[in-house]
């Protein structure tokens, strides 16, 4: 009898253990999150590294009649994440009465299309204006005032000093996040953007009586920390009013602080209910010339006030640049400025070109062109696949690996410069040499007459093992360091792809003419090459 009792007890324990394990698997509560290590960030989705290969639909595309085309375009792009707006005016058409039917419809359709979502909260700010506020707020300008310009004129931009609007926005955002928490246990939504390009065009700040009184007062102590003071180039023991401490930049810094504080109030209200990663996007200024704020949207997290935003908005996980710049130096500078030890890099809006995709992958967590459902080159009706869609198609199955490699600093990107000169990447015992052009020597005879559209990224897997991905370029190598001067050769060059499990699958081995004349060449269509090198 004792043996039977022991057996029953043992069996009961095993059954409970299995039940607990099964229930745990069914009720996985790990929501998407950002992790940081050694100044580099990784987005985790379902506890796995995830890189956003995204597309943002048009501002007015989150309506039932528009969504079928959105999903068709996203599938044609081979994207894994849709950025889509949520309209405050649609969500709360009457004060205190909320309608989440369109949110639920998007959730349902995203799951049907195997797509992750990033919701964009269009509320107090959209492109610096308040056009997505509900009608019951727009018709009460006394209660919900706009910015007052320096000459007393009303500016088409909400005042960050309006507590009534801030509280209403926070209340609505909290209800929205609460709905997501209950309706999205599958974690279809991986992040939320709070507002859209907040700030003000047409005035550096609000000059209303209320704002002016605050401007003439003391600066908040959160700004006057040694770290922030160093970035703003003021003494660490600075004291006084905004004008006394910051001089000609005082108006802009003041406005940035108060826009950020307002948005942090909204973000905090939502995050306390459902702590998804939250970010804001930024309308950029010229990163190379240090212009004054009357030449760009003042108050947003432009590169010169990122430290102010970090101090004012701790519940915003990162600030993200919308990149519409065309100059290579300017774009590369923006990526450098926003990939900070205290800020994850993501490009939530950009043009439809993949030129800087590899640089974003190397340093960031996501990339997304804007208005994809309105761009002809992404249309399913196009006979030729767009360059970005071709990139997404080969990168999507390996997106989790890209996220891992980025966090480990294994990815090294290059772009073809305007002079078409070859580029070099140091890889320990090897130097990768990337040449651009389509002849055996690497460069065309009429190189100056063709566009500089080549690009590549080298991923170091081991001392002698590399992945090369690119377009319109050739890859070759040279021993350096302890191997310098030694004869070398390709031990094996495999052309292939990554499958859905993240495993490399060989299509063919390249040799002979494909490797002997300046290294393997990649044309207009992106390709994945696996290199193993050796010295003799």
Is residue 168 within a helix (H) or strand (E), and if so which, with residue range?
helix 163-183
pLDDT exceeds 60 at position 89: yes
Of 405, 401, 459, nearest to 427 (Cα)?
Answer: 459
pLDDT exceeds 70 at position 16: no
Strand 455-462, strand 411-415: pairing: antiparallel
378 band by pLDDT with thresholds 50, 70 and 90: confident
Give the residue-averaged pLDDT of 198-204: 98
pLDDT of residue 441: 54
| Percent residues over pLDDT 90 in the chain | 88
**Rounded Cα distance, 97 and 175, in Å:** 10
pLDDT of residue 113: 98
| Percent residues over pLDDT 70 in the chain | 92
Residues of CATH 3.20.20.80 domain(s) within the chain?
79-355
Cβ atoms 131, 117 nearer than 8 A: no
Contacts of 468 (CB under 8 A, 6+ apart): 432, 456, 457, 458, 459, 475, 520, 522, 528, 529, 531
pLDDT exceeds 80 at position 12: no
- Give the fold, CATH level 3, of 412-441+449-533: Chondroitinase Ac; Chain A, domain 3 (2.60.220)
pLDDT of residue 320: 98
**Rounded Cα distance, 59 and 369, in Å:** 13
pLDDT of residue 437: 81
Domain 79-355 falls under CATH 3.40.50.1110: no
Of residues 383 and 69, more confidently modeled: 69
Of 285, 275, 279, 276, nearest to 264 (Cα)?
Answer: 279
Q: What is the 3-state secondary structure (H, E, C) of 66-130?
A: CHHHHHHHHHHHCCCEEEEEEEHHHHCCECCECCCHHHHHHHHHHHHCCCEEEEEEEEEEECCEC
304 band by pLDDT with thresholds 50, 70 and 90: very high
Q: Which residues pair with 36 in a beta bridge?
A: 41
pLDDT exceeds 80 at position 97: yes
Chain mean pLDDT for the chain: 92
**Residue carrying structure tokens 């940035």:** 256
Backbone angles phi, psi at 340, to 5 degrees: -110, 160
pLDDT of residue 376: 72
Of 26-40, 59-73, 264-278, 321-335, the range with the lowest mean pLDDT is: 26-40
Widest Cα–Cα separation across the chain: 95
- Structure tokens that stand for 468 in this block: 């090369």
Of 320, 430, 315, 416, nearest to 364 (Cα)?
Answer: 320
**Rounded Cα distance, 278 and 33, in Å:** 10
Query: According to DSSP H, which parts of 306-386 are helical?
Result: 306-312, 328-338, 357-363
Cβ atoms 285, 302 nearer than 8 A: yes
pLDDT of residue 7: 39
Of residues 21 and 505, more confidently modeled: 505
Cβ atoms 337, 318 nearer than 8 A: no
**Rounded Cα distance, 359 and 412, in Å:** 8
pLDDT exceeds 80 at position 482: yes
Of 414, 180, 175, nearest to 277 (Cα)?
Answer: 180
Q: Which of 12-21, 307-316, 384-393 ranks highest by mean pLDDT?
A: 307-316
pLDDT exceeds 80 at position 447: no
pLDDT exceeds 50 at position 288: yes
Question: pLDDT, tens digit, for every residue of 464-476?
Answer: 999 999 999 999 9
Question: pLDDT, tens digit, for every residue of 335-350?
Answer: 999 999 999 999 999 9
Residues of CATH 2.60.220.20 domain(s) within the chain?
412-441+449-533
Q: How far is CA 72 from CA 57, 60, 67, 374, 407, in A?
A: 12, 17, 9, 12, 32
pTM of the prediction? 0.92
CB atoms < 10 A from the CB of 246, how many?
20
pLDDT exceeds 50 at position 297: yes
pLDDT of residue 379: 66
């Amino acid at each position: 009898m004792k043996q039977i009792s022991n057996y029953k007890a043992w069996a009961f324990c095993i059954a409970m253990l299995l039940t607990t394990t099964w229930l745990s698997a069914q009720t996985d509560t790990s929501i998407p999150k950002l992790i940081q290590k050694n100044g580099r960030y990784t987005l985790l989705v379902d506890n796995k590294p995830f890189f956003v290969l995204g597309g943002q639909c048009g501002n007015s595309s989150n309506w039932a009649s528009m969504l079928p085309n959105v999903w068709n375009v996203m599938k044609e792009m081979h994207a894994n994440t849709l950025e889509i707006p949520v309209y405050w005016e649609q969500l709360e058409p009457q004060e205190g009465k909320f309608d989440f039917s369109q949110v639920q419809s998007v959730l349902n359709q995203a799951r049907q299309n195997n797509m992750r979502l990033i919701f964009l909260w269009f509320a107090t700010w959209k492109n610096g204006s308040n056009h997505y506020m509900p009608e019951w707020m727009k018709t009460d300008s006394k209660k919900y005032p706009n910015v007052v310009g320096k000459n007393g004129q009303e500016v088409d931009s909400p005042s960050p000093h309006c507590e009534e609007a801030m509280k209403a926005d926070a209340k609505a955002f909290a209800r929205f996040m609460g709905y997501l928490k209950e309706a999205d246990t599958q974690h279809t939504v991986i992040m939320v953007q709070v507002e859209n390009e907040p700030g003000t065009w047409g005035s550096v700040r609000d000059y209303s009586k209320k704002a002016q009184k605050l401007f003439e007062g003391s600066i908040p102590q959160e700004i006057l920390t040694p770290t922030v003071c160093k970035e703003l180039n003021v003494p660490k023991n600075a004291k006084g009013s905004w004008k006394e401490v910051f001089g000609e930049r005082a108006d802009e810094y003041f406005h940035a602080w108060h826009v950020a504080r307002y948005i942090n109030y909204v973000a905090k209200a939502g995050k306390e209910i459902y702590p998804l990663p939250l970010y804001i996007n930024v309308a950029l200024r010229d990163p190379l010339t240090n212009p004054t704020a009357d030449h760009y949207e003042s108050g947003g997290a432009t590169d010169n006030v990122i430290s102010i935003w970090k101090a004012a908005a701790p519940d915003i996980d990162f600030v993200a640049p919308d990149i519409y710049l065309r100059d290579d130096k300017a774009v590369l500078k923006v990526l450098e400025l926003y990939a900070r030890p205290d800020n994850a890099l993501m490009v939530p809006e950009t043009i439809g070109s993949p030129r800087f995709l590899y640089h974003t992958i190397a340093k960031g967590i996501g990339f997304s062109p804007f208005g994809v459902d309105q761009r002809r080159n992404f249309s399913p009706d196009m006979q030729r696949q767009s360059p970005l869609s071709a990139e997404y198609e080969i990168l999507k199955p390996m997106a989790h690996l890209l996220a891992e490699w980025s966090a480990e600093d294994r990815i090294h990107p290059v772009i073809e410069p305007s002079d078409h000169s070859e580029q070099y990447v140091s890889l320990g015992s090897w130097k990768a040499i990337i040449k651009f052009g389509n002849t055996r020597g690497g460069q065309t005879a009429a190189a100056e007459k063709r566009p500089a559209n080549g690009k590549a990224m080298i991923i170091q897997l081991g001392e002698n093992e590399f992945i090369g991905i690119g377009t319109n370029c050739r890859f070759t190598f040279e021993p350096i360091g302890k191997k310098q001067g030694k004869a070398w050769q390709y031990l094996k060059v495999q052309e292939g792809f990554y499958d859905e499990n993240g495993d490399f699958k060989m299509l063919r081995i390249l040799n002979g003419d494909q490797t002997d004349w300046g290294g393997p060449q990649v044309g207009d269509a992106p390709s994945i090459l696996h290199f193993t090198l050796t010295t003799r």
